[in-house]
Amino acid sequence: MKKHVIIVGGGFAGINLIKSLRNDSRFRVTLVDKNNYHFFPPLIYQVATSFIEASNISYPFRKLISKYDNIHFHMGNLLKVHSESKTIETDTGNLKYDYLVLALGTEPNFFGMENVKRYALPMKNIEEALYLRNYMLLNLEEAARNKDVKAAEKLQNVVIAGGGPTGVELAGMLAEMGRYIAEKEYPEIKLGLSNLYLIDTLPNLLSSMSEMAQETAYQTLEKLGVKILLNVSVKDYADGKVILSDGKTIPTETLIWTSGVIGREVPGLPEKSIDRGRRILVDGYNKVLGTENIYALGDICLQLTEKEYPKGHPQLAQVAIQQAKNLGNNFKRIEDEKVLNPFRYNNKGSMAIISKFNAVVDLPKFSFKGFIAWLTWLFIHILPLVGFRNKIRLALEWLRLFITNNPSIRLILYPKRNNTSK
């Protein structure tokens, strides 16, 4: 009897677990995802800023699994886990499992601020990145038409909340877009896209990285004209103004939210297995506390068993990938009646690109910055892309873009139809 493994979520964790089980005929695996494609979040900001196409960093699940007889795909949204009947309920049908693996990742955390939730622009997936791209391009068009100087300026002010790697990378790229594109192609407007604010509650940008990385990010972005506000948080977003904790306000039509995440909700799990940031508590083998045969991987889980990580692991791609590989091996060890291996995180470092030709890299033993760091960043971000064609296409596209400074995909597209039939 083959064991039926259901994996909900085809992000880094989900597809790496599939890789581990795809040639093992003892398992029948069903991947459940609300989208029909895998995508690469670290490069989402380049889609949002019209730098690269969404297809450069996405890959259809069915193509990914088509060579493997024991892997299947079910497109659907997880609604509830029914552990007593070992079933999951999705909006497209119910499925029975022997092992259930939850790898649904996170969603933006707006910290209870209703206006921010309603009007700020998150950037966590392809749809949000494309929406943001359209939104900023439309604002530039409106600013170019608007004769009222104050209203036009408000349209050009862009506020980014969150000074982690995503906020820093986005600020750097928008500042350069302002310089290379908006000033050239939108002669009617004064500021282009370069009136940028980057806000963080903490005293430093890139707070999880080295002091060198923090200072480099600050100095480089400041030189590019980004207004960096630290030790201050967004309190509200009302009447077209971002309201800060120090009482100051910034008039803007664009508040981009990269300021924290919360685990996706999974109804049906025991209440005591949900911890801070709505992360699912797991043991050292990624099994959800208080359940049988249910596991959680990656950003959505909280594993407090490694003494070097008393508050849990950072929500990074490498953690998700390594946990998935370990769980895949453990599923095989269960079948072989062998002792299971607990998860141990191998920290390979972190990095952020700040501007063209300038990045910072923190390795476990040393840090470096500048052009070599930038080349390292490019290389490291091409390697894990799914699909050989995607890797080559992106490498060539980057080469062209960095030489010409002129991405040409600034298209405002709204896919829609007017009748209501399917």
Ligand X SMILES: Cc1cc2nc3c(=O)[nH]c(=O)nc-3n(C[C@H](O)[C@H](O)[C@H](O)COP(=O)(O)OP(=O)(O)OC[C@H]3O[C@@H](n4cnc5c(N)ncnc54)[C@H](O)[C@@H]3O)c2cc1C
32 lies in the binding site for ligand X (CB under 6 A): yes
Specify the stretch interacting with ligand X by CB under 6 A; choose among 32-40, 134-142, 189-197, 275-283: 32-40
Q: Quick one: which H or E segment has residue 296?
A: strand 294-296
Cβ proximity to ligand X, 33 vs 362, nearer residue: 33
Query: CB under 8 Å to 299, separation ≥6 — which residues?
Result: 11, 13, 105, 106, 261, 263, 279, 315, 319, 320
Contact between 332 and 25 under an 8 Å Cβ cutoff? The reply is no
Whose Cβ is closer to ligand X: residue 179's or residue 279's? 279
Q: Which residue, 146 or 355, has its beta carbon nearer to ligand X? A: 355
CA distance 76 to 79: 9
The answer to whether residues 18 and 7 touch, using CB atoms and an 8 Å cutoff, is yes
CB nearer to ligand X: give 33 or 253.
Answer: 33
Confirm or reject binding of residue 78 to ligand X (CB under 6 A). Answer: yes
165 touches ligand X by CB under 6 A: yes
Site membership for ligand X, residue 163 (CB under 6 A): no
Shortest distance (Å) from residue 249 CB to ligand X: 27
Is residue 158 near ligand X by the rule CB under 6 A?
A: no
* Subset of residues 114 to 143 that bind ligand X, contact rule: CB under 6 A: 123-124
Q: Which is nearer to ligand X, 78 or 159 (CB)?
A: 78
Stretch that binds ligand X, among 36-44, 137-145, 334-342, 360-368 (CB under 6 A): 36-44
Do 353 and 359 meet the contact criterion of CB atoms below 8 Å apart? Answer: yes
105 binds ligand X (CB under 6 A): yes
DSSP state letter for 298: G
Interaction mask 254-273, ligand X, x per CB under 6 A = ----------x---------
| Positive/negative CA dihedral, 40, 169, 350, 360 | positive
Whole-number minimum distance, CB 378 to ligand X, in Å? 12
Site string for ligand X, 58-77 (x = CB under 6 A): -------------------x
Binds ligand X (CB under 6 A): choice among 100, 256, 302, 316? 316
Phi-psi region of 107 (alpha: psi -120 to 50; beta: other; left: phi over 0): beta
- What is 111-144 written as a DSSP string? TT-HHHHHHSEE-SSHHHHHHHHHHHHHHHHHHH
Q: Is 200 in the site for ligand X (CB under 6 A)?
A: no
Q: Which is nearer to ligand X, 186 or 377 (CB)?
A: 377
**Which residues are registered as beta bridge partners of 259?**
none
Give the one residue of 5, 13, 221, 281 binding ligand X; rule: CB under 6 A. 13
Nearest-5° angle of CA 310, CA 352, CA 401? 155
Tokens of 296: 């959680």
Residue closest to ligand X (Cβ): 11
Residue with tokens 């508040």: 255
Three-point CA angle 324, 380, 330, nearest 5°: 15
Q: Which of 5, 12, 70, 254 binds ligand X (CB under 6 A)?
A: 12
Applying CB under 6 A, which residues contact ligand X? 8-14, 32-35, 41-42, 44, 77-78, 103-105, 123-124, 165-166, 264, 298-300, 315-318, 320
